[in-house]
Chains A and B, each alone.
Chain A
Amino acid sequence: MALAVILFFYAANSEVVWLYLLAYWVAALVLVSFVYSAWNRGFSLDATLAGIRRASGFDAEGLAEEVAQDEPFELDRLRIKITIGSPRGTRGPARAYGKVGVTSMSIAAGVVPKSGGHTEQLLPQPSRRGPVEMSDWWLQSGDPLGLFKRIKRGKDGEVALVLPRFVSLRAQPLVRELEAAVTAPRAGYGTEVFGVRPYQPGDPLRRIHWRTTARRGELIVREFEPPGVQNLGIFLDPSPPEPAAADQVARIAASEAWDCLRAGGRVTLWAPGCEQSRPDEERNLLALLQWLARYPKRSAEAGPPPLVGAAVAVTTKSDRRLLDAIEDVRTHGGPVRAWVVGEAALQSDIEVERAGLGWPPR
């Protein structure tokens, strides 16, 4: 506007008439820029995990395909895709900037089509266990000349959940593991109902679940899990002293859970003050890893320790509630043992294995 005023002043003084035209044009340009900046709004922002560059040494053997391919683990490098959209139609220019984790990112486009524009960036740091969140995001828009700008706060959100690393803590597969690998997919002869599945030739007729058969219109049989399958409870330290110790606790717990699931067992995760893992996810490795990725996550709906057949405590210190839960399992005849991260002494006589902060633990 200063330029327009100068031109106007000079037009009035110099009697060069076209300077008036230029002055009005510049003033009109400012006015139109203001209108343009008011029109250039309504952008949306989204961030997703676009890819994973696996850390060296990652062993995906034996993992379910969707876990191995799509889920990020500790030390992986994450490729983040930031998408800026314009639901109201093609707009521009616009810029979005903020943080993903601790990395600053931005996206800018002169033209933002309705379908949106995106950018991808590989996070420079190896990822750490836990949620990767976009935070402190701002959306900037305005006119093409940069005379007016609008800045709007973007929504924070979770981009990815980095799962803890794990290894098999058993050097050789157990005989039971081999057994379970064969028997688990089949309708077994154990005592606990494993689930239902369509009838296959050879299934005993008494295994037919008539109510479901009536409902579905085809023969459905019950599956029973084989006897001796472990129902393992992994009880975790409710408040590790430092993030590195919490990471190690989660890794050991994940490794224990992995070994148990491979042996055909079921796993329940619990920590004092935290909500236990869901019963329908006892055989779901991904769900258990996600629970551990968020560990320690305090919950107001924290309940008592779960009823399990066997228990492993993973802790950094001697926590009374944790030990009570372990004792309770032992009292009911279940086998118990413990992992201690660090040098703390447990006020219990259960079998203890020790681990430092290095990985693998032994």
Chain B
Amino acid sequence: MKLPRLLPASPVEESLSGRVFVYLGFGIGCLGVAIYGQDYVVPAVGLAIAALGHIVSYRGRRQKRSISGQALVASMVFASMAYFLADSVGAIFGGVMPQANFAILLVAVTSFDLKTRRNCYSSLWISLAILYLAAVYAWDYLFAVLAGVWFVCLAGFWAASHLRRLGAAFRLPAGAAAVALLAATGIGVLAFFFIPQPQAFPSGPLVVSLPTFSQFKGEIENPALPLVQIQGSTNTVDLRYRGRLGDAPVMYVRTGAPAYWRGLVFDTYSDGVWTSSRRGGTPFPPYVPARLLGPGPDHNLGTFVQTFRLLRTLPGVVNAAYPIESLYVPVGQLARDPYGTFHTPGVLRAGQTYSVVSYIPDLSAARLEQDPMPQFESGDVAWDLEYTALSTDARLLAQHAVEGHTATEYDIVTALTSWLQDNYRYSLEIGHVRPGVDAVDQFLFVDKKGYCEQFATAAALMLRSLGIPARLATGYSTGTYDPVLNQSVVRERDAHAWVEVFFPNDGWVPLDPSPGYAGLPATKFPDRWAASGIARLIPHLTIGAAPAILASAGFLGVIPPAIAIALVVVLAYAWLRRRLVRRRLRAADPPGSSDLLDLYDRLQKRSGRRRAPPETPLEYWGLMQDAPDEAVLEEVTQAVNEGAYAGRWPERARVRELAERLS
């Protein structure tokens, strides 16, 4: 039975230059994998095989496919798939980007069968997929350049294939093609910067479920903050010691929204040391879908994806924006502690990546003001209200700080936060805590300066003393956020501690009492208009300012843009008109006439005496026999006479020659 054709037949691709572009596109994908995946063997082997395959394909492009040849290609495809499975499950070949390597081998194998234009397109698209897989590791502008070059290869293939189809050689008007390419790039860049970028619903990571035989063996250990790891136990934050804050990058975070990357949470404070009172963890698979984590917050504004790439070995804590909707960490198993933080069995190695989808709850001031005061009894450990370590003076100070602002929980929280930010100084240069002295008291009454841990600890305990549940959260602040790449570079110095406050209707809300930070560091969607990100870099200028001013002017606001548009139109019209008139004049003028008369005018200026109106050119020349340019003047006079009286104006080249002699 003859099967119906699903697709129309694709013509044989005759363009050699088009095939070169296909190969270059593949090369770009391989380059991306080599640069970002630091995997060189498979890309190099793939490129070599593909080069051979392209030669074979081009030479045999008009030959009919043989069954044996098809079977060979198919077997090689299956071999590539076997490689992929072996590398993915057992990490036999290192396990670095197995999908990209599989795609590379797929392109290399199918290069032997690139006969039609459709085959070439398929090869190019898979090259794009390779590039996209490399993007998992790509965190810089160079990658955009690679992607741009790939699209140039695509355009090159289009052009080469089209010209070959026409029967023309691969040549184009260089100027026009360059202008077109630059215009497209310019328009694309302008659109990128000046068109607000919509945000749809981000999808979670694509997960291929593969069998795994490793089990979760770790415990909840290792706080996320390397700066406090010099002394103290592994699951504590000790205010008596601190590490160094370097500038070295810790991780890159590609994120849809800048946020605090929360790690461990501590609820028990004693003798200057924070510990976690609740132990144990619930096991989860490496991919935790939303259904395993329960429903999101009622006041959810949306979700956003973060992809973390670690640049140094970190404790096995999944730093991310919380609350989490779903996540994928390429480890054997995950565990979630009672505070909602996810842990990995071992340390997270440099180079590892993981993806998290987080909710963005509505934590606006207007909403939080609606929350009632929590009704718990003071000292309830279960609800993070234990504050016995706080001295009596500190408790009185807390009451003083919020005096007059006790209407709602939100008022109290903001009042205390503002008070701390206003009256205490942020400094990393603080002395050691003396033995027998509480670290909070030393911060509040002696040093009156400190860093995030001092501020957060003081705020947490003072809030507890006011009957508000609070706990210490640690992790990293947003880092250096790039609105164009949607990426944060998180460095050692971004390690941070803040407070989580319990609101009855909204759960645990982050609060940052450290000076220089937003008091309510709620995650918000950034303005995804790239230009607004650029504008933020310019002090006192925002892109939206001008439209806002115009909008406030009402109907009259139309006038300035109208004037601007009219000005542009008039200027453009004048420019076009002038151009047209000059072109007409040039067409009407005999060749060289205006240039010759200009030259004649210059000669008169140089000789120091202009020709009087009654004088003929010959009379003028006769009187200027002693002029320094007499020889040129004679020839120019003859040329002017011939032009004016006989209509035989000289060629432009002749006028240029005379002018050169003059200079």
Q: Is B183 an interface residue (CB 8 A)?
A: yes
Q: Judging by beta carbons under 8 Å apart, are A15 and B187 in contact?
A: no
A residues adjacent to B (C-beta < 8 A): 9, 11-18, 20-22, 24-29, 31-33, 35-36, 39-40, 90-93, 95, 106-111, 140, 143-147
CA distance A29 to B158 in the complex (A): 12
Q: Is the CB of B183 within 8 A of A28?
A: yes
Which A residue's beta carbon lies closest to that of B256? A15
CB-defined contacts of B162 to chain A, threshold 8 Å = 93, 144-146
- Count B-side interface residues using an 8 Å CB cutoff: 53
What are the residues of chain A within 8 A of B191 when measuring CB–CB? 24, 27-28
B183 lies within 8 A of A111 (CB): no
Interface residue B189 (Cβ < 8 Å from any Cβ of A):
yes
Can you name the residue of chain B whose Cβ is closest to the Cβ of A144?
A: B159
Within 8 A of A (CB), among B40-98: none
Contact partners of B186 in chain A: CB under 8 A: 28
Given A14-B203, A16-B254, A110-B172, CB of A36 within 8 Å of CB of B166:
no
Given contacts A15-B202, A18-B485, contact A90 B173 (CB under 8 A): yes
Instruction: Bits for B125-155, please: 1 = Cβ < 8 Å to A, else 0.
Output: 0000000000100000001100110010001
CB distance from A15 to the nearest CB of B (A): 4
5 additional A-B pairs beyond A12-B199, A90-B173, A93-B168, beta carbons within 8 Å, are A17-B484, A18-B143, A24-B187, A24-B192, A111-B172
* Cα distance A21–B531 in the bound complex, in angstroms: 12
Nearest CB in chain A: distance from B368 CB, A: 27
CB distance from A130 to the nearest CB of B (A): 29
Closest 5 CB pairs between A and B?
Answer: A146-B162, A25-B188, A28-B187, A110-B171, A108-B168
Most chain B beta-carbon contacts within 10 A, residue among A13, A109, A110: A110
Are A108 and B167 in contact, CB atoms less than 8 angstroms apart?
yes
Contacts of B202 in A (CB 8 A): 13-15
B197 interface residue (CB < 8 Å to A)? yes
**Any A CB within 8 A of the CB of B176:** yes
The complex places the Cα of A35 from the Cα of B195 at a distance, in Å, of 22
**A143: nearest chain-B partner, CB-CB:** B180
- The reply to whether A29 and B155 form a contact with Cβ atoms under 8 Å apart is yes
Q: Give the residue of A16, A20, A143 whose beta carbon is less than 8 angstroms from that of B135.
A: A16
Across the interface, do A12 and B188 meet the contact criterion of CB distance under 8 Å?
A: no
**B200 contacts across to A, CB distance below 8 A:** 9, 12-13
Give the nearest-CB partner of A8 in chain B.
Answer: B198
Asked if A91 contacts B173 (CB within 8 A), the reply is: yes
Q: Report the separation of the CA atoms of residues A16 and B144 in the bound assembly, to the nearest whole angstrom.
A: 11
- In the bound complex, residues from chain B placing their C-beta under 8 Å from that of A40 are 176
Q: Contact at B151–A25, with CB atoms within 8 Å?
A: yes
Which A residues lie within 8 Å of B213 (CB)?
none
A145 touches B159 (CB 8 A): yes
A sample of 26 cross-chain residue pairs with beta-carbon separation below 8 angstroms, ordered by A number, consists of: A9-B200, A12-B199, A13-B202, A13-B203, A15-B199, A15-B305, A17-B486, A21-B144, A24-B192, A25-B151, A26-B151, A27-B188, A27-B191, A31-B187, A32-B183, A33-B180, A90-B173, A93-B168, A108-B168, A109-B168, A110-B168, A111-B172, A144-B159, A145-B155, A145-B162, A146-B161
Instruction: Decide: A32 and B199 in contact? CB cutoff 8 A.
Output: no
The docked-state distance in angstroms from the alpha carbon of A108 to that of B172 is 12
The CA-CA distance from A143 to B143 in the complex, in Å, is 29
In the complex, what's the smallest C-beta–C-beta distance from B353 to chain A, in angstroms? 14
Give the residues in chain B near A20, CB-CB below 8 Å. 192, 197, 530
What residues of chain B lie closer than 8 Å to A107, measured between beta carbons?
167
B541 contacts partner chain A, Cβ-Cβ < 8 Å:
no
Instruction: Tell yes or no: B169 within 8 A of A by CB.
Output: yes
- Chain A residues with CB below 8 A from B155, complex form: 29, 145
Bound Cα distance A14, B185 (Å): 23
| Chain A residues whose C-beta falls within 8 Å of the C-beta of B530 in the assembled complex | 17, 20
Contacts of B419 in A (CB 8 A): none
CB proximity of B256 to chain A, nearest CB, Å? 4
> Which chain B positions have C-beta within 8 A of A109?
168-169, 171
Nearest chain A residue, comparing its CB with the CB of B305: A15
Whether B269 is near chain A, meaning CB under 8 Å from some CB there, is: no
**Bound-complex Cα distance A24 to B168 (A):** 30
